Chain A
Amino acid sequence: MGKIRVLADEVASQVAAGEVVERPASLVKELVENSLDAGAGRIWVEFQRGGARQVTVRDDGCGMDREDALLCLERHATSKIRQGIDLMTVRTMGFRGEALPSIASVSHFRLVTREHTADMGVEVRVSGGKTEDVREVGAPPGTQIEVRDLFFNLPARRKFLRGEETESAHIVHGIEAIALANPKVAFECRRDGKTVRSLPQAKELAVRIRDLYGQDFLDRLDEIEQVVGEGFAISGYLARPGQGRRDRLQQHVILNGRPIVCAAVQQPLREAYADAIPRGEHPPAVLVIEMDPEWVDCNVHPAKREVRLRQPDLLKRAVYEAARGVITRTRRPVAPAPVFAPVPPRPETSVPAAKPAPPAPEPTAPSRRAFAAPAPQVDFVLTPEPPPPAPRPEPITEALPVPATPRETASTASDGSLPYRILGGLGERYLVLEGDEGMVLLDEAAAAERILFEALVKGMESGGAACQHLLIPALCELPAREFAWVIEHLADLREAGFSLDPFGNATVRIDGLPAGLENTDPARLLNEVVNAARATGKASAGRGLREALARSVSRLAAQTPTRRFPERLVRDLLRCALPYASPDGRPTMIQFSFAELARKFGRR
């Protein structure tokens, strides 16, 4: 007895503060989210010395009266939920009622707030969790919270703060993430008295993306067709093929207005882009997901960065579909951006007036539609006007391959002639083409791979790829695990065009190969295909495995020289659903536009 005691409120707050207020950036995030919940249209953030000295967040939101101003500093006092059941439907940013008291318990805290209808505002000062002063003051409508000397009473904690630069970067990054999720709110962020971000209210997501990350970044993305699933809707922008990045820093996912990290989005993106960007790269993305609050549990992580989904599979499927839509829609060779195009400077301290005019605003419906800006001008190489995105009434359940309309229009000019003029061969593996916009280099092997890959996948989906039987069956001995894999996947291999039977004792008898593999040693082919498929085998059965098989088969086939005529190669390639990347995501064509060439030759 006597060992266990209930903590004093103050101490409890400090403990909680450890969770909520990890570092100044998390404190900024909490305060800004409060402002958003208060319906702010503009939010000002100012901080000094990486936020350790001082953080001020001011908004033009609804404000509070005196009573609320005091109550909001009590633990678990919140305006946002009232009973347990509300947790199921929470739509606001914060709801735990922990933030303000926690912050106030570890800093010199000052709250000034005024309701729009009130004559006077109220100021509350708290220091280390103790309320020191409450009085009426004159104030603009809204709320301003000032936090000084964070962790002044927790020296151990204070020591753990990183350098000013690091903490400042975290703060700005956090604000960017929130700003991206709330394009209609204006943000201004000042560091040590200097404006580092100034984001005017944006009617559309595209404008906010551009203001935040630059036109260059926006150009790499294409708007997805909005997907409306059961209990959720997805809109936003995804990378065009070939625009991968080494890291995921440019993958932004916004769930119900909150930036999150979510495996249920990363994984389908990885799968969808498997053949559109090189392995090891990630597609930049800005995905806005609106989800019925009942389907998502935000109460997992104190900083609410992670969420738990009740039905991740539906969402995964939808994200995959959306990504494939963007990938297959793009009809433009990869431009070699790093070679010629100077990288435009990131708009650090941007002056709103200097911005190019935002795209003509649509009449903003109050619904989700508001997020979906009209597609940024897409330059289609092959057709004078971009094909209208095929309407997809039922995107989730629809069989995958590709709307037929854009392909038809894009691949063949009306008279059936090629949109490129073939100028000749370059070295042993490239073709040089001339298009309307400039010079295009084509990698013949990559192109042949893409063509065969799509033929194989198509063949598999319509009941099995063609199989050429062998005169003399080949026996192939496999290591135990490979053998087990083969036995388990006999049907899939058959679908991919193999014909084989177990021959006992870790040996299989191959009496048919996928058609088109004119000249391959059967045993070697099987070995390589099995290894490749096993490596990507985690991808669920069905399409994933099919594609893995088709990918390795086509890669091997393309190694053997073909008797293709260049014109036929180009024509077949353009007929593909995804002509601009090989099955493992390397580009098949690279364009050097006339403008770039002119620049290179100093003509501009």
Chain B
Amino acid sequence: MKFSVTKEALLDGLQRIQNVVSTRSTLPVLTNALLETTETGLRLTTTDLEVAIRCEITAQVERPGATTLPARRLAAIVRELPSSEITIETDAKNISTLRCGSSFFKIFGLAKEEFPAFPSFKDAKTYSIKQHDLRDGLRKTSYAISVDETRYVLNGILFSFKDNKLTLVATDGRRLALFDSDMEFPQSHERDFIVPTKAVTEIQRLLGEEGEVQISVAENLVSFEVAGGQLVSKLVEGNYPNYRQVIPGEAKERITLEREAFLTSIRRVSLLSSDKTSSVRLAFSKNNLDITANTPEVGEARESMAIVYRGRDFSIAFNPEFVIDPLRNLPNDEIYLELIDEMSPGVIKINTPFLYVLMPMRVSV
């Protein structure tokens, strides 16, 4: 195999795939990236057996072939190379030589036959959605994914294709983020599946602003395919909890808040809530919101915000992280906070189909 490629293209490709590589794998070949020539260039693949990702870059192929090379080392070398034209040549023993200007590297690789085969999709249902929409939806929900490994069905995002809508849901049992996007698909394609956290992170790297993404789902695999790249992941097995039941009905109060100001206030106040058992209190009174935190023997903080509010005076406590997360990930200038009473869940909404349910805390102080 022999090909030439620009430094920028190769580095870009490697950076898109190298995060999947496992650092301590029992299977040495999994720390490698598979390099295959195609008609138009070069295809790079990595996998950890849960998630596989590949992307194509343009390259000048002189002699077709394939090999595997240590992914992170290769990326590190390419990043440091001096000029833009790189030539890689591999011999029959999978030893690759890399030339670039005055630099010369010899790297030992493993045979391409040792690399796991990329899964193929048969009988898959296929959906097509705008890359921008999916990226937007993942950004607005993925922060709420649970990191508790004992509740594995929550370690991912629920993709629910129903009623000509894609609904994305993430929750860790204390808050829940939900995003809707209209799309068209035949009724036979209605289906729910859970995409694991790692795949969610990698998809976000793959998605751009333009074009469509093809989502194909088979029995226990899902594929996300964009121009020049594809990610395949196992699905999380199990049933996602019935998220509809946790969305509260009629709200008593709907308060419009300026997102940026609200976010920075909570951030500042939360500096004085203790680390582990932290809470901030939101106290609503006529046209005013007081955000307070206090930790015994540390101190207390208070921020006041002018708001439009005519309801009864009351206060409710939340974990500040749970409030900050959606605020940070929403682009809107205004958000709506819907509340019932101090013991009932609060809901954050925006103008577009999105909602975020968060449970209050019971704090004695």
**Distance between B344 CB and nearest chain A CB, rounded to angstroms:** 9
A469-B343, A515-B319, A521-B150 known; A463-B364 Cβ under 8 A: yes
User: Is residue B252 within 8 Å, beta carbon to beta carbon, of the partner chain?
Assistant: no
Interface centre among B146, B357, B362 (most CB of A within 10 A): B362
Residue B276 at the A interface, CB < 8 A? yes
Minimal beta-carbon separation of B55 from chain A (angstroms) = 32
State whether A467 and B150 are in contact (beta carbons under 8 Å apart), knowing that A451-B275, A455-B277, A514-B277 are contacts in the complex: no
- A499 and B174 alpha carbons, distance in the complex (Å): 13
Cβ of B276 and Cβ of A471 under 8 Å apart?
A: no
**Contact between chains at A462 and B365 (CB < 8 Å):** yes
- Asked, given contacts A466-B362, A520-B148, whether A471 binds B277 with beta carbons under 8 Å apart, the answer is no
A515-B319, A519-B148 given as contacts; is B364 within 8 A of A469 (CB)?
no
Q: How far is the CB of A505 from chain B (nearest CB, A)?
A: 22
Q: How far is the CA of A102 from the CA of B146 in the complex (A)?
A: 78
Which listed residue, A451, A452, A469, A521, touches B359 by the CB 8 Å rule? A469
Q: In the assembled complex, how far is the CB of residue B269 from the closest CB belonging to chain A, in whole angstroms?
A: 16
CA distance A519 to B151 in the complex (A): 9
B173 contacts partner chain A, Cβ-Cβ < 8 Å: yes
> A410: shortest Cβ distance to chain B, in Å?
13
A466–B148 CB distance below 8 A: no
Q: A519 contacts B146, CB within 8 Å?
A: yes
The 8 A CB mask of A365-382 against B (1 = contact, 0 = none) is 000000000000000000
A467 to B364, CA, bound (A): 9
CB distance A521 to B364 under 8 Å? no
B276 contacts A468, CB within 8 Å? no
Of A497, A499, A568, chain B has the most CB atoms within 10 Å of the CB of A497
Q: Are B297 and A564 in contact (CB under 8 A)?
A: no
Within 8 A of B (CB), among A559-573: 560, 562, 564, 568, 572
A459 touching B275, Cβ below 8 Å: no
Do B175 and A515 touch (CB < 8 A)?
no
Q: Across the interface, which residues of A come within 8 angstroms of B150, CB to CB?
A: 519-521, 524
B238: interface (CB < 8 Å): no
CB distance from B285 to the nearest CB of A (A): 23
- Contact indicator per residue, chain B 287-319, by CB within 8 Å of chain A (1) or not (0): 000000000111000000000000000000101
Quick check: is B176 within 8 A (CB to CB) of the other chain?
Answer: yes
Near A by CB (< 8 A), chain B positions 174-199 give 174-176
Residue interface mask B322-365, A partner, CB < 8 A = 1:
00000000000000000000010100000000000101111111
> B212: CB under 8 A from chain A?
no
Residues from chain B with a CB closer than 8 A to the CB of A519 are: 146-150, 172
Q: Which residues of A contact B319 (CB under 8 A)?
A: 468, 515
Task: Give Cα distance in the complex from A17 to B150, angstroms.
Answer: 69
Of all chain A residues, the one with the shortest Cβ separation from B345 is A471
Contact with B along A520-558 (1 / 0, CB 8 A): 111010000000000000000000000000000000010
Whether the pair B274, A471 counts as a contact (CB closer than 8 A) is: no
Residues of A near B364 (CB, < 8 A) are: 459, 462-466
Closest to B149 in A: A519
Q: Is the CB of A469 within 8 A of B362?
A: yes
Cβ-based interface call for A7 (8 A): no
A residues 290-345 near B (Cβ < 8 Å) are none
Q: Does residue B246 face the partner (Cβ distance < 8 Å to A)? A: yes
Q: Report the separation of the CA atoms of residues A524 and B172 in the bound assembly, to the nearest whole angstrom.
A: 16
A522 to B242 Cα, complex, angstroms: 17
Least CB distance, A129 to chain B, in whole angstroms: 71
CB pair A452–B277 under 8 Å, yes or no, is: yes
Query: Could you tell me if B279 and A471 are in contact, using CB atoms closer than 8 angstroms?
Result: no
Among the listed A467, A521, A562, which residue makes an inter-chain contact with B148, where contact means beta carbons less than 8 Å apart?
A521
**Which residue on B lies nearest to A558, using beta carbons?**
B276
Decide if A470 is an interface residue (CB 8 Å cutoff).
yes
0/1 interface trace, chain A 439-465, chain B, CB 8 Å (1 if under) = 000000000100110011011001111
A494 and chain B: residue at smallest CB distance? B362
Q: Provided the pairs A458-B296, A472-B241 are in contact, do residues A515 and B176 lie with their beta carbons within 8 angstroms?
A: no
Q: Nearest chain-B residue to A472 (Cβ)?
A: B241
What residue in chain A is nearest B295 (Cβ atoms)?
Answer: A455
* Residues in chain A near residue B176, CB distance under 8 A: 471
Q: Is A471 within 8 A of B361, CB to CB? A: no
B37 adjacent to chain A (CB < 8 Å):
no
A521 to chain B, nearest CB (A): 5
Residue numbers in B under 8 Å from A572 (CB-CB): 274-275
Tell me whether B278 is interfacial, beta carbon within 8 Å.
yes
Contacts of B297 in A (CB 8 A): 404, 575
Query: Once the chains bind, are A468 and B365 in contact (CB under 8 Å)?
Result: no
B362 near A467 with CB under 8 A, answer yes
Tell me, yes or no, whether B230 is within 8 Å of chain A by CB.
Answer: no
Any B CB within 8 A of the CB of A41: no
Interface residues of A in 465-522 (CB under 8 A from B): 465-472, 497, 499, 512, 514-516, 518-522
How far does the alpha carbon of A557 sit from the alpha carbon of B359 in the complex, in Å? 20
Task: With A515-B278, A572-B275 as known contacts, state yes or no: A469 contacts B361, CB within 8 Å.
Answer: yes
Distance from B250 Cβ to chain A, minimum over Cβ atoms (Å) = 18
Contacts A459-B277, A564-B275, A572-B275 given; indicate if A512 touches B246 (C-beta within 8 A): no
Q: Mark B153-183, 1 if CB is under 8 A from A, else 0.
A: 0000000000000000001111110000000
Separation of A463 and B363 alpha carbons in the complex (Å): 9
Report whether B276 and A451 are in contact in the complex, using a CB–CB cutoff of 8 Å. yes
* A516 CA to B317 CA, complexed, in Å: 14
Verify B359–A466 contact, CB threshold 8 A: no
A404, A456, A458, A515, most chain B CB atoms within 10 A: A515
Given contacts A459-B364, A462-B364, A515-B361, contact A470 B174 (CB under 8 A): yes
CB-nearest residue of chain A to B358: A471
Nearest-CB residue, chain A, relative to B148: A519
Q: Taking CB as reference atom, which chain A residue is nearest B245?
A: A472
A515 partner residues in chain B, CB cutoff 8 A: 276-279, 319, 361
| A469 contacts across to B, CB distance below 8 A | 174, 343, 345, 359-362
CA distance A591 to B277 in the complex (A): 29
A466 and B364 CA atoms in complex are apart in Å by: 7
A557:B246 contact, CB within 8 angstroms: no
Residues of A with C-beta under 8 A to B298:
575
Cα distance, A519 to B173, chains bound together (Å): 9
Q: Tell me if A466 and B363 are in contact (CB < 8 A).
A: yes
Chain B min CB distance to A191 (Å): 57
Expressed in whole angstroms, the Cα–Cα distance for A345 and B149 within the complex equals 53
A568 near B275 with CB under 8 A, answer: yes
Contact B276 A452 (CB under 8 A): yes
- In angstroms, how far is the closest chain B Cβ from the Cβ of A391? 21
Cβ < 8 Å to B, chain A residues 16-36: none
A518–B319 Cα distance when bound, in Å, is 11
Question: Chain B residue with minimal CB distance to A554?
Answer: B276
Measured in the bound complex, the distance between the Cα atoms of B274 and A516 in whole Å is 10
The one of A448, A471, A521 that contacts B151, using a Cβ cutoff of 8 Å? A521
4 closest residue pairs by CB, A with B = A519-B148, A463-B364, A516-B276, A469-B359
Besides the contacts A516-B277, A564-B275, what 14 more A-B pairs have beta carbons closer than 8 Å?
A404-B297, A456-B277, A467-B362, A469-B345, A470-B174, A471-B173, A472-B242, A497-B277, A515-B279, A516-B276, A519-B148, A519-B149, A521-B151, A568-B275
24 sample A-B contacts, Cβ–Cβ < 8 Å, listed by A number: A464-B362, A466-B317, A466-B361, A467-B363, A468-B174, A468-B319, A468-B361, A469-B361, A470-B359, A471-B173, A471-B175, A472-B241, A472-B245, A499-B362, A512-B362, A515-B277, A516-B277, A518-B147, A518-B148, A521-B148, A521-B150, A557-B276, A568-B275, A572-B275
